[in-house]
Amino acid sequence: MPKTTVYCFTGFDIKEGKSITAKRMATLEAIKGFNGVPLMETAKEVDISELDGDGHYPKYFTVIYSTKNFPLLNNDSVGKQKIKEFPLFEAAKASPFPTNEKYLFASIQVVGGWYTLSAGSSVWEFHEKK
């Protein structure tokens, strides 16, 4: 597969009214189209097939549901997992916990860290990658 380079980038978030780091990486062409500023030191070479139609990487936001808490929050195993992919971050956050198992925890990895949600809660918490 042909390769391309993607970058983390900052841009102005109209909803938040401030400059933010995007949740996904993108190609330089896409970042220019978003009026963003690439963070050149974050360059990463990827297969072009891993981009969405707008030049974002990765193509999807992946939600991992688990029957136990996230291992970085405690030392337990993650238990049984279910993975669902979404093209939009807001859709990933709005997805309900699967009902066929007793899933207690969900996580979404983004640039700079991950968001987590416990069953019964409606607030996703951001955890910065250290």
**Residue boundaries of the structural domains of the chain:** 3-55, 61-128
Nearest to 106 by CA among 59, 62, 60: 62
Chain centroid offset of residue 65 CA: 14
Q: What is the pLDDT of residues 28-44, one digit of tens each?
A: 999 999 899 999 999 99
Task: Give the whole-angstrom CA distance, residue 52 versus residue 80.
Answer: 29
Check if the beta carbon of residue 57 is closer than 8 Å to that of residue 111.
no
Report the percent of the chain where pLDDT is more than 90: 61
- Decide if pLDDT at 74 tops 80: no
Check if the beta carbon of residue 57 is closer than 8 Å to that of residue 76.
no
Task: Give the whole-angstrom CA distance, residue 97 versus residue 65.
Answer: 7
